[in-house]
């Protein structure tokens, strides 16, 4: 229901910054503006911030959802002139400087789009209808339910084809999300599956990763690609490089190689695109649906509208197609914009991305890390990966609790969260 | 979809015991029959056992769902000739000694109904349509989402009536579930609400408990009733004794006293009734929909069918209306039946309920406990309550982890799980 009346926001003497999206970009912008002379109106359709880098652990029964999502109101407790509204944003009216939401209209002095990205299926409608993406906590839980339900179906059947159908997992895309998901399922296959499903002893889980490019983790170094491919293959993951998905009807995955795979579990991690409400000038939108911004994250052709994080495409010499759509970009752009907004526009400083390196984990004590020209793998890389994630998460929650919980969960091989709490109903 | 073909169950030389329901009764029966000369087929519609006594903590954002539900397959790992099937049971055909499920027919030698209980609305259709019960983990999560969504609605409004509507919680029933839920919300009101919702400072949460009887916790001692009523009132819970609900349209609660309360949050804990598939002789079903059993938990009028736990009504001199529908009854009947099933029928021993006492917690460091004629309250009772629940839960999970997690969660006043992961859509 769209209402045209104004959403109630307490009056405030300071100029109002409306931030759409409580992902890494929006959260870090709002944090950096704590108690500054602005009224901050943060909007999200959920009442929590989700820690996206660990969604795959929820999907693979390794962590409970509540340990990687954090109540927004708790993060911003005791902030002055800060307001949170849980609603969907429908459109932007830059002429009137307001946005229309599910619950009414909200005026802004500055608008910041931090609305992130969503799955990009590149027009493959049947794949979109029959697969599950890995961009939200709800999708992660759907993946968890779907696979556990399907293994139960395999377990209830004495038909070989049915058993094979339901015990194959196909992951499209070998970026960090695809590789980490495949590795976690490989551990599920090794440590949980044989004990939980002794009736399926002749039908081990089959895990496939389909990658259109020539290597896994193509954004990382050649060495990292090679090492992680090695690790995956040692863990019995079938990696199909140089191979694209052509179609999927919920049962048969058709590949560009002509090969087909029977599977009722298709996970899409092969592409993302920016997402934002309507109202942005079409000529400033890139092919991957990101919004062109200048070096100050200001949306081209619009006054007082900014975009940060995944949704922003800032073309620079080093990043002619925009910065990588990853958490560090979002965090740095949020923090940088907060600084500029406190200055006269004439004194604004251009954004400079500091690439702190790349990390991906393939499994316990197996990871790859690139820092400039340095490359690490194995236990040391995994230690860095764990530490970085633990520090990032503990910013949101009780450190002791998350630390214990997370380390215990992760260090043990027992994926204790293999629960079908809400049954998944296929979309088509 | 009902299929008339047989469900695949691996062949086994032992007689087959089919157990319907993986609650306390079914789980403890199956555990007590570990590796005995029976094929155990355990059936549940979920793939987990839920620890019902703590559902209210999930509903009130105090514990995450995954810490009180446990994968069934993990509990029965390494059991010989044990089979789990996740499905709904539709009917019992005692003549052919089989049951019909969502996935087909399953034959039995012995059938044990451990299917528990569900909400009893006593024919109040409008209350049923507009309230949420507290019998399943899904309902607990619905309560959590519904209340958090409604507080957001109150927070978005500048209309006093709307704010009052969404910030009132009405709990029907003052048994243990109702009292414990009210106490937990009272803590939410005191420790979370003022910090999370500063805009609602003039609209404190209103918590009402409606009880048709003359006292709260009527199954416990007079002293416990009095002490817990005192505690609740000190925590600003409005307890309406001797008052029944007449109607509820999703907004207005009409009471037998003539009073009305505006609330969009109605929680039903006022009654339960047995639940089981069709096929049991109607003359053996009590008014509260429990199945009459003899002293050996055998269903009257049926051969080879047993009922244990909430669904069983065993009328004895001490319990003329059947045993209390609580976890200890279910556990003891499950364990007792396991012993009898291993003996010739002539040697079966009648069931004797050992009443170990009653406990209820009203809040942190506030509880009441009755052991025979002994009555405890306050910190000591709370210590007993915590210990009993911790020991019971740790039977299912890694003790260290649950211990830390649970104690930390419970001892801190920060209900960190105030997350709307799946939005609740009212039923009507």
ipTM: 0.93
A208: how many CB neighbours lie within 10 A of its CB? Answer: 22
**What pLDDT score was predicted for residue A62?**
86
Average pLDDT, chain B: 93
Closest among B263, B209, B211 to B236, alpha carbons compared: B209
Q: Is A160 on the interface with B (CB under 8 A)?
A: no
**What pLDDT score was predicted for residue B68?**
87
- Contact present, B93 and B228 (Cβ < 8 Å): no
The runs of H, that is alpha helices, within B271-377 are 327-341
Go through the domains of chain A in sequence order and give each one's CATH number. 16-54+68-119+272-347 (3.50.50.60), 125-270+358-411 (3.50.50.100)
Residue keyed to tokens 């009555």: B375
Query: Which residues in chain B touch residue A64, judged by CB atoms under 8 angstroms apart?
Result: 64-67
The mean per-residue pLDDT over the stretch A223-250 comes to: 97
- Contact present, B266 and B259 (Cβ < 8 Å): no
CB pair distance less than 8 Å for B157 and A8 = yes
* A63 CA: distance to closest CA in chain B (Å): 9
**What pLDDT score was predicted for residue A421?**
85
- Give one word for A186, left, alpha or beta, with left for phi > 0 and alpha for psi -120 to 50: alpha
- Contact present, A314 and A351 (Cβ < 8 Å): yes
Q: Is A81 on the interface with B (CB under 8 A)?
A: no
* B345 CA: distance to closest CA in chain A (Å): 33
Residue ranges of chain B whose pLDDT lies below 70: 1-3, 394-414, 428
Lookup: tokens for A30: 């709002």
**What pLDDT score was predicted for residue A327?**
94
**What pLDDT score was predicted for residue A399?**
54
* A129 CA: distance to closest CA in chain B (Å): 20
Mutant choice from A79, A81, A196, A404 vs B, greatest count of B C-beta within 10 A? A196
- Contact present, A33 and A18 (Cβ < 8 Å): no
CB pair distance less than 8 Å for A420 and B48 = yes
CB pair distance less than 8 Å for A8 and B86 = no
Strands (E), A164-205: 168-172
The mean per-residue pLDDT over the stretch A51-56 comes to: 93
Which residue does chain A place closest to B101, by CA atoms? A156
- Contact present, B112 and B308 (Cβ < 8 Å): yes
Nearest-angstrom CA–CA distance, B338 and B348: 11
Three-state DSSP state, B44: strand
A130-182 residue pLDDT tens: 999 999 999 999 999 999 999 999 999 999 999 999 999 999 999 999 999 99
Q: Is B405 on the interface with A (CB under 8 A)?
A: yes
CB pair distance less than 8 Å for B401 and A421 = no
Lookup: tokens for A156: 């209830």
- Contact present, B103 and B58 (Cβ < 8 Å): no
**What pLDDT score was predicted for residue A1?**
43
**What pLDDT score was predicted for residue A205?**
97
* A195 CA: distance to closest CA in chain B (Å): 6
Average pLDDT, chain A: 93
The runs of H, that is alpha helices, within B245-375 are 327-341
Nearest-angstrom CA–CA distance, B1 and B122: 30
A361-391 residue pLDDT tens: 998 889 999 998 999 999 899 888 888 887 7
Q: Which residues pair with B82 in a beta bridge?
A: B40
Which residue does chain B place closest to A418, by CA atoms? B71
B242-280 residue pLDDT tens: 999 999 999 999 999 999 999 999 999 999 999 999 999
Is the pLDDT reported for residue A199 higher than 90? yes
Nearest-angstrom CA–CA distance, B275 and B307: 11
- Contact present, A98 and A106 (Cβ < 8 Å): yes
Q: Please report how many Cα atoms fall inside a 13 Å half-sphere around the Cα of residue A113, on the Cβ side.
A: 34
- Contact present, A139 and A417 (Cβ < 8 Å): no
Q: What is the DSSP string of A74-141?
A: HHTTT-TTEEEEE--EEEEETTTTEEEETTEEEE-SEEEE---EEE--TT-HHHHHH-EESSSHHHHH
**What pLDDT score was predicted for residue B24?**
96
The mean per-residue pLDDT over the stretch A215-233 comes to: 96
Which residue does chain B place closest to A196, by CA atoms? B73
Segment (H or E) for A263? none
Nearest-angstrom CA–CA distance, A295 and A315: 8
Is the pLDDT reported for residue A404 higher than 90? no
Interface of A with B in 261-280 (CB under 8 A): none
**Residue % of chain A over a pLDDT of 90:** 82
- Contact present, B358 and B220 (Cβ < 8 Å): yes
**What pLDDT score was predicted for residue B196?**
95
* A310 CA: distance to closest CA in chain B (Å): 23
**Confidence at A102, pLDDT banded by 50, 70, 90:** very high
Nearest-angstrom CA–CA distance, A57 and A328: 20
Closest among B172, B140, B168, B154 to B62, alpha carbons compared: B140
Lookup: tokens for B208: 């009402």
Query: Which residues in chain A touch residue B419, judged by CB atoms under 8 angstroms apart?
Result: 47-48, 65-66, 69, 71
Q: Is A419 on the interface with B (CB under 8 A)?
A: yes
B177: how many CB neighbours lie within 10 A of its CB? Answer: 24
Say which residues have a Cβ less than 8 Å from residue A184's Cβ, sequence separation at least 6.
Answer: A56, A57, A59, A60, A62, A363
Say which residues have a Cβ less than 8 Å from residue A342's Cβ, sequence separation at least 6.
Answer: A33, A36
- Give one word for A139, left, alpha or beta, with left for phi > 0 and alpha for psi -120 to 50: alpha
Nearest-angstrom CA–CA distance, A402 and A395: 10
């Amino acid at each position: 229901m769209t209402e045209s009346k104004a959403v109630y926001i307490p009056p405030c003497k300071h100029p109002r910054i409306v931030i759409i999206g409580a992902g890494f970009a929006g959260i870090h912008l709002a944090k950096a503006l704590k108690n500054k002379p602005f009224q901050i109106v943060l909007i999200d359709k959920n009442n929590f911030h989700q820690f996206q880098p660990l969604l795959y652990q929820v999907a693979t029964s390794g962590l409970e959802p509540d340990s990687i999502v954090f109540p927004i109101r708790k993060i911003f407790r005791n902030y002055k002139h800060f307001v949170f509204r849980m609603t969907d944003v429908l459109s932007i009216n830059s002429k009137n400087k307001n946005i229309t939401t599910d619950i009414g209209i909200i005026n802004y002095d500055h608008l910041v789009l931090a609305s992130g990205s969503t799955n990009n299926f590149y027009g493959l409608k049947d794949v979109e209808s029959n697969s599950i993406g890995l961009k939200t906590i709800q999708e992660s839980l759907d993946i968890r339910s779907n696979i556990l339900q399907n293994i139960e179906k395999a377990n209830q059947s004495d038909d070989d084809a049915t058993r094979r159908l339901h015990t194959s997992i196909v992951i499209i895309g070998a970026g960090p999300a695809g590789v980490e998901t495949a590795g976690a399922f490989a551990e599920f296959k090794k440590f949980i599956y044989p004990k939980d499903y002794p009736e399926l002893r002749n039908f081990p889980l089959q895990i496939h990763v389909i990658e259109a490019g020539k290597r896994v983790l193509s954004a990382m170094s050649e060495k990292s690609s090679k090492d992680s491919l090695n690790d995956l293959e040692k863990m019995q993951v079938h990696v199909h490089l140089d191979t694209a998905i052509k179609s999927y009807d919920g049962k048969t995955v058709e590949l560009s190689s002509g090969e087909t795979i029977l599977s009722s579990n298709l996970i899409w991690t092969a592409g993302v695109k920016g997402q934002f409400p309507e109202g942005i000038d079409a000529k400033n939108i890139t092919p991957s649906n990101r919004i062109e911004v200048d070096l100050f994250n200001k949306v081209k052709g619009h006054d007082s509208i900014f975009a940060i994080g995944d949704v922003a495409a800032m073309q620079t010499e080093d990043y002619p197609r925009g910065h990588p759509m990853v958490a560090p970009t979002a965090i740095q752009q949020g923090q940088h914009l907060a600084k500029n907004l406190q200055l006269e526009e004439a004194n604004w400083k251009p954004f400079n991305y500091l690439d702190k390196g790349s990390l991906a984990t393939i499994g316990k004590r197996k990871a790859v890390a690139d820092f400039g020209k340095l490359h690490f793998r194995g236990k040391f890389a995994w230690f860095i990966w764990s530490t970085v994630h633990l520090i990032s998460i503990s910013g949101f929650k009780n450190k002791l609790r998350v630390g214990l919980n997370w380390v215990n969960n992760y260090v043990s091989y027992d994926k204790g969260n293999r629960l079908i709490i809400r049954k998944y109903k296929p979309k088509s």
